[in-house]
């Protein structure tokens, strides 16, 4: 978590901060904030912002506020507030007692707006949304001033108060800043500060207010009220910065410094709460925590760890230019972490029955297996071995080439933590499909005490049929088939046109070793030779469900012909 351990050089934000610390610009303080709008669950892009804001504060012994930017009652819900708090905590960050809501400042924001009116810097405009947009014109031609721009202070104060008192319907009036209708920066062409929204009630303030501040106004004032020093936001707000500064200068208050960084984009994924919500509401995915979603809730359910996500954010780094990060990097980070912590177990995803004809019926042996060779404290467990086993169908091949080191008639293979077996016969059904392998085991070849002297090249995994647990596996792949699902607007296509029909494949009958009985939801595992999996919360006493977190190797790159 400590940036300084992995980065020897400073990123550009740290450079700015160290410069400010050197000149005592903010009395040597560093105070950041993470300001989500509670209109959905947060995603990996937000995680980058969380790691940045909390990470910077940790590095410079500063503070970080969690502030809900809840200024739009139409889209915000308490469910999202709680979900976001849970996700930030899960990522490993603590705002302690610094939890704030922009809605806590509604009165102050209102009072400041009255001040702006009194200074002649804001006015009530009766124009419609469309008229306002029309009068703004385009960046290449100056805008037109609204006929309401030069209303008297008394009139503006009167109308603004009556807006607040609920006398006017939605859309009939707005409060606008009086800046410059000819500015080349469109955001300075008299931006809207307040709008009327009679309904629905606000998730915290209920019916107390029917006018709500716009983001640009609420954000800078909230930052100022909280004494934020460095207000870190994504690049698209760079053009809003003059407005951020204008408002605080006109109000004559303390002024934080807004610094913009590049938003995180990941290939084969969309990164917008609004669009993720569309996937949820149209039932394209199974909720916000669908393991195919790049929400924090989805990643957690998929089997990602907080450390892997923090590590990913750190590796991606902080840039000033937009870029797209390859999903393979995120997968690399989770493999790296799970390699250290996930116990290895045996599970057969596509079972083929093996009968060891020379092994006594009814006999069970207990095989000792190391839980995780990467972790010397992980201990061992017992795996039962018997006459009837399942192996992976893909570990047998008819008429195998000479260099095939798994099972084939006449060939031998080692069963991991078991015996060497040799295949004598493949039994087929009437369709020619292999239903069973007849094999013999080599008696003195038991792993750990092998005196057989036999050399076999291949080792395969297996489970004992009478002991195995039947379970379900959910195999996930990318949700979209193209790198940039949002990149086809010109062709008239949206991200919904590029859904991967194979993003979820359910294997209804897999067999896992009995040691997994009762494993708790979200337990991380490596199914040997297959991939990292975890226990899905849908698991019951009768049926365990496993999610594929990530395959052991990057098979996607191969499929794409990139490797
Ligand atoms: P979305 O469109 O997904 O809702 P947003 O920017 O509107 O994104 P907010 O809840 O307003 O979401 O964002 C909270 C904070 O997270 C902001 O500071 C924002 O800049 C940051 N953030 C959001 N998305 C990303 C991203 N993809 N990469 C980095 N930071 C992000
Ligand atoms: Mg937003």
CATH of the domain at 428: 2.40.240.10
What was the pLDDT predicted at 556? 58
Active-site choice (121, 136, 178, 273)? 273
Residue 536 counted as domain residue:
no
What was the pLDDT predicted at 562? 47
Active-site choice (29, 137, 255, 263)? 263
What was the pLDDT predicted at 553? 86
Residue 416 counted as domain residue:
yes
Active-site choice (37, 226, 331, 513)? 37
Residue 481 counted as domain residue:
no
Please enumerate in sequence order all residues whose Cβ is within 8 A of that of 292, keeping only pairs 6 or more positions apart, or say none: 285, 298, 302, 476, 478, 479, 503, 504
Residue to probe by mutation, ligand 1, list 34, 43, 45, most atoms within 8 Å of CB:
45
Residue 57 counted as domain residue:
no
Indicate which atom in ligand 1 lies nearest the CA of residue 36. 10
Q: Whose CA is nearest to atom 10 of ligand 1?
A: 36
Q: Whose CA is nearest to atom 25 of ligand 1?
A: 45
Residue to probe by mutation, ligand 1, list 100, 228, 234, most atoms within 8 Å of CB:
234
- Say how many CA atoms lie within 13 Å of 428 toward its Cβ: 5
What was the pLDDT predicted at 7? 52
* 93 pLDDT tier (thresholds 50, 70, 90): very high
Q: Per-residue pLDDT averaged across 192-217, rounded?
A: 97
The pTM for the full model equals 0.94
pLDDT tops 50 at residue 198: yes
What was the pLDDT predicted at 2? 47
Residue 424 counted as domain residue:
yes
- 268 Cα–ligand 1 center, Å: 18
Which range of residues forms the domain containing residue 385?
350-467
Q: Whose CA is nearest to atom 26 of ligand 1?
A: 45
* 4 pLDDT tier (thresholds 50, 70, 90): very low
Angle between helix 106-118 and 153-164 (nearest 10): 160
What was the pLDDT predicted at 563? 38
Pocket of ligand 1 (CB under 6 A): 35-37, 45-46, 48-49, 69, 233-234, 263-264, 271-274
* 237 pLDDT tier (thresholds 50, 70, 90): very high
Q: Per-residue pLDDT averaged across 431-438, rounded?
A: 97
Q: What tens digit of pLDDT does each residue of 124-140 get?
A: 999 999 999 999 999 99
Indicate which atom in ligand 1 lies nearest the CA of residue 234. 20
Residue 440: name the closest of 512, 389, 377 by CA.
389
Q: Which ligand is nearest to the CA of 40?
A: 1
Residue 303 counted as domain residue:
no
What was the pLDDT predicted at 323? 86
- 230 Cα–ligand 1 center, Å: 16
pLDDT tops 70 at residue 400: yes
Query: How many angstroms separate the Cα of 291 from the Cα of each of 298, 368, 522, 531?
Result: 4, 33, 12, 15
Q: Whose CA is nearest to atom 9 of ligand 1?
A: 36
% of the chain with per-residue pLDDT over 90: 95
- 215 Cα–ligand 2 center, Å: 9
* 1 pLDDT tier (thresholds 50, 70, 90): very low
Alpha-carbon distance of 66 to 85, in angstroms, equals 9
What was the pLDDT predicted at 418? 97
Q: What share of the chain is helix, strand, coil (3-state, %, to 5)?
A: 30, 25, 45
Q: Per-residue pLDDT averaged across 150-175, rounded?
A: 98
Q: Which ligand is nearest to the CA of 233?
A: 1
Residue 383 counted as domain residue:
yes
Q: Which ligand is nearest to the CA of 264?
A: 1
% of the chain with per-residue pLDDT over 70: 97
What was the pLDDT predicted at 43? 97
Both tokens of 542, joined, read 């009768």
- The yes-or-no answer on residue 89 being catalytic is no
Peptide bond into 90 cis (omega under 30): no
Alpha-carbon distance of 362 to 44, in angstroms, equals 51
- The yes-or-no answer on residue 263 being catalytic is yes
Q: What tens digit of pLDDT does each residue of 303-312 get?
A: 999 999 999 9
Residue 6: name the closest of 214, 427, 314, 379 by CA.
314
458: left (phi over 0), alpha (psi -120 to 50) or beta: beta
Least trusted range by pLDDT, from 206-215, 352-361, 402-411, 552-561: 552-561
Q: Whose CA is nearest to atom 16 of ligand 1?
A: 46
Q: Which ligand is nearest to the CA of 273?
A: 1
Question: Within 91-239, where are the H helices?
Answer: 106-118, 129-136, 153-164, 215-225
* 554 pLDDT tier (thresholds 50, 70, 90): confident
Indicate which atom in ligand 1 lies nearest the CA of residue 37. 10
Residue 396 counted as domain residue:
yes
Residue to probe by mutation, ligand 1, list 37, 46, 69, most atoms within 8 Å of CB:
46
Alpha-carbon distance of 547 to 536, in angstroms, equals 6
- 45 Cα–ligand 1 center, Å: 7
pLDDT tops 60 at residue 68: yes
- 160 Cα–ligand 1 center, Å: 31
Residue to probe by mutation, ligand 1, list 43, 49, 220, 278, most atoms within 8 Å of CB:
49
Alpha-carbon distance of 173 to 159, in angstroms, equals 9
Q: Whose CA is nearest to atom 23 of ligand 1?
A: 46
- 495 Cα–ligand 1 center, Å: 19
Q: What tens digit of pLDDT does each residue of 44-53 get?
A: 999 999 999 9
- 256 Cα–ligand 1 center, Å: 19
Q: What tens digit of pLDDT does each residue of 9-63 get?
A: 899 999 999 999 999 999 999 999 999 999 999 999 999 999 999 999 999 999 9
- 258 Cα–ligand 1 center, Å: 15
Q: Whose CA is nearest to atom 18 of ligand 1?
A: 233
Mean pLDDT value across the chain: 95
- The yes-or-no answer on residue 82 being catalytic is no
Structural domain tally of the chain? 1
């Amino acid at each position: 978590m400590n940036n300084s351990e992995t980065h020897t050089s400073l990123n550009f934000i740290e450079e700015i901060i160290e410069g400010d610390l050197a000149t005592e610009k903010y009395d040597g303080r560093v105070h950041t904030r993470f300001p989500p709008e509670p209109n959905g669950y947060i995603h990996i892009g937000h995680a980058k912002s969380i790691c940045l804001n909390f990470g910077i504060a940790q590095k410079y012994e500063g503070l970080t506020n969690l502030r809900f930017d809840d200024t739009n009652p139409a889209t915000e819900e308490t469910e999202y507030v709680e979900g976001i708090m849970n996700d930030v905590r899960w990522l490993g960050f603590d705002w302690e007692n610094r939890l704030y809501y922009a809605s806590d400042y509604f009165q102050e924001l209102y009072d400041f707006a009255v001040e702006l009116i009194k200074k002649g810097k804001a006015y009530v405009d009766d124009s419609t949304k469309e008229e306002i947009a029309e009068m703004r014109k385009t960046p290449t031609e100056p805008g037109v001033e609204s006929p309401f721009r030069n209303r008297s202070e008394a009139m503006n104060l009167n109308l603004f108060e009556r807006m607040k008192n609920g006398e006017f319907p939605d859309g009939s009036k707005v409060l606008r800043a009086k800046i410059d209708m000819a500015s080349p920066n469109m955001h300075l062409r008299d931006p809207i500060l307040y709008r009327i929204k009679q309904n629905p009630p606000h998730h915290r303030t209920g019916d107390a207010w029917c006018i709500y501040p716009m983001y640009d106004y609420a954000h800078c004032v909230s930052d100022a009220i909280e004494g934020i020093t460095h207000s870190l936001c994504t690049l698209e707000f760079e053009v809003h910065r003059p407005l951020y500064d204008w408002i605080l200068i006109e109000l004559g208050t303390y002024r934080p410094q807004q610094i913009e960084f590049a938003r995180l984009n990941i290939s084969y994924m969309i990164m917008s709460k609004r669009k993720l919500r569309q996937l949820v509401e149209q039932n394209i995915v199974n909720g916000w925590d669908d393991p195919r979603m790049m929400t924090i809730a989805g990643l957690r359910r998929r089997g990602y760890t907080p450390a892997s996500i923090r590590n990913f954010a750190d590796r991606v780094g902080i840039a000033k230019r937009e870029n797209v990060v390859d999903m393979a990097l995120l997968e690399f980070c989770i493999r790296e972490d799970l390699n250290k912590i996930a116990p290895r177990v045996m599970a057969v995803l596509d079972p083929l029955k093996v009968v060891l004809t020379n092994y006594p019926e009814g006999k069970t042996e207990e095989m000792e297996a190391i839980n995780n060779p990467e972790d010397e404290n992980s201990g061992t467990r017992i795996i039962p071995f018997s006459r009837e086993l399942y192996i992976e169908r893909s570990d047998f091949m008819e008429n195998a080439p000479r260099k095939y080191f798994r099972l084939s008639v006449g060939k031998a293979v080692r069963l991991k933590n078991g015996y060497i077996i040799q295949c004598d016969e493949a039994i087929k059904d009437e369709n020619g499909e292999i239903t069973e392998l007849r094999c013999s085991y080599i008696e003195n070849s038991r792993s750990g005490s092998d005196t057989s002297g036999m050399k076999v090249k291949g080792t395969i995994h297996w489970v004992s049929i009478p002991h195995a647990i039947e379970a379900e596996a959910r195999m996930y792949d990318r949700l979209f088939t193209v790198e940039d699902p949002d990149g086809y607007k010109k062709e008239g296509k949206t991200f919904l046109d590029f859904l991967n029909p194979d993003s979820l494949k359910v294997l209804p009958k897999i067999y896992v070793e009995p040691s997994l009985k009762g494993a708790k939801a979200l337990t991380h595992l490596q199914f040997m030779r297959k991939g990292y999996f975890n226990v899905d919360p849908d698991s019951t006493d009768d049926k365990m469900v496993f999610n594929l977190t990530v395959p052991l190797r990057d098979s996607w790159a191969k499929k794409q012909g990139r490797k």
